[in-house]
Structure 1
Amino acid sequence: MKILAFAGSNSKASINKKLVTHVASFFNEHDIEILDLNDYEMPLFSVDKLAKEGIPSLATDFAKKIDSSDFLLISFAENNGAYTTAFKNIFDWVSMIQGRPVFGNKQMFLLSTSPGPRGGASVMEIAKNRMPFSGGKVLDTFSLPSYNKNFVEGEGITNSEYASEVASKIAKIKAELLK
């Protein structure tokens, strides 16, 4: 099985990229590709640019990555209670590709984290409600609050309650994927 993982952030030090990379390691028996949104930086979406220049090749490249995968792991960074501009811009461009749902009708596990106690709860709510309308089949979600207290790079989730919760969700997802 091919798993595509990425953080909805363009921060070089993204805590969401660290989280999604950690969670992806639990699927190491599969082929995993971890994307960096910085590799898909495009002009800010507008209908005027779309009409004048068409869809950027990076948007179609991103869509091809989704289409060639079997399962998506996405960890959403939160900016002002919503998606980051980097993620939203890619989402908007890919949504303009005719004849395909943005997330290719792929099953997905949605993640989020933040330094604060809500763990990106606002963006997670947006994402889990939006993905089904955009070709994403959400199998489960996990938000890690207070990242700096509950995650250590190289070790992963250090809070046993959250580590147990994500492990249980991963086990459930693996059972679902192997049906």
Structure 2
Amino acid sequence: MKIIAFAASTHKKSINKQLVHYACELLDKAEVEVLDLNNYELPLYSQDKEEELGHPQLAKEFLNKIGESDGVLISFAEHNGSYSVAYKNIFDWCSRIEPKVFQSKPMVLLSTSPGSMGGASVLAAAVQSAPYFDGIVKASLSIPSFYDNFDTEKQTLNHEELNEQFKDAVSHLNHFK
């Protein structure tokens, strides 16, 4: 079983990347490949760019990573209540190649932020839209107040109840086969 995981952020010290890495430690029954959106930097999508460039190789490679996986784990950074530009851009390019971007893959969707809502707005949008792009959302969870609830030295959630909810959400990618 192979899982593709990534943070929907390009920030080098992304708290969503930290959350993804912690989640990956819990996926003991799977081979996990963590992708970095910095490795898939593309021109901003537009119809004009698509006519000029066709479908960029990096977008094809990203889409192939999803296709070759058995499941997908994403932790969403929230920028002004929505997706980060980096995620939205790679998603837009991929959707022009294959509208069913998530290719019937089981998914666990996460988010976190320093604030008390934990990226809940972007997570809600992702959960709601995933089925339209052939994603099968098995679980989702928002982690509020990241710096209060996550031990950045130990790289683990230190809030016991949240940690149990987190483990339960992530475990859905250990059970789907």
Give me the TM-score of the superposition, normalised by structure 1: 0.94
1:28 paired to 2:33: no
Structure-2 residue corresponding to 1:84 = 84
Q: Distance in 2 between matches of 1:109 and 1:82?
A: 18
1:141 paired to 2:144: no
SS for the counterpart of 2:97 is coil
1:126 paired to 2:116: no
CA shift, 1:173, in A, is 4.7
Structure-1 residue corresponding to 2:158 = 158
Structure-1 residue corresponding to 2:4 = 4
Percentage of matched positions with identical amino acids: 45
SS for the counterpart of 1:143 is strand
Number of aligned residue pairs: give it.
Answer: 176
Q: Distance in 1 between matches of 2:47 and 2:96?
A: 10
Q: Distance in 1 between matches of 2:13 and 2:69?
A: 25
Q: Distance in 1 between matches of 2:60 and 2:155?
A: 35
State whether residues 110 and 141 of structure 2, in contact with CA within 8 Å, keep that contact through their aligned partners in structure 1. yes
Superposed CA RMSD in Å reads 1.2
CA shift, 1:171, in A, is 3.7
Give me the TM-score of the superposition, normalised by structure 2: 0.95
SS for the counterpart of 2:102 is coil
- Between 1:165-174 and 1:51-60, the stretch displaced more is 165-174
State whether residues 130 and 137 of structure 2, in contact with CA within 8 Å, keep that contact through their aligned partners in structure 1. yes
CA shift, 1:53, in A, is 1.3
Consecutive aligned runs of 4 or more in structure 1 exceeding 2 Å deviation? 168-175
Matches within 5 A, 1:36-55: 36-55=36-55
Structure 2 gaps of 5+ residues are: none
SS for the counterpart of 2:45 is coil
Matches within 5 A, 1:104-119: 104-119=103-118
Q: Distance in 2 between matches of 1:114 and 1:90?
A: 21
State whether residues 81 and 121 of structure 2, in contact with CA within 8 Å, keep that contact through their aligned partners in structure 1. yes
CA shift, 1:14, in A, is 0.6
CA shift, 1:29, in A, is 2.9
SS for the counterpart of 1:49 is helix
Letter of the 1:136 partner, please give it: G
Letter of the 2:112 partner, please give it: T
Q: Distance in 1 between matches of 2:112 and 2:81?
A: 12
Structure 1 gaps of 5+ residues are: none
Letter of the 1:124 partner, please give it: L
Structure-2 residue corresponding to 1:14 = 14
State whether residues 149 and 159 of structure 2, in contact with CA within 8 Å, keep that contact through their aligned partners in structure 1. yes
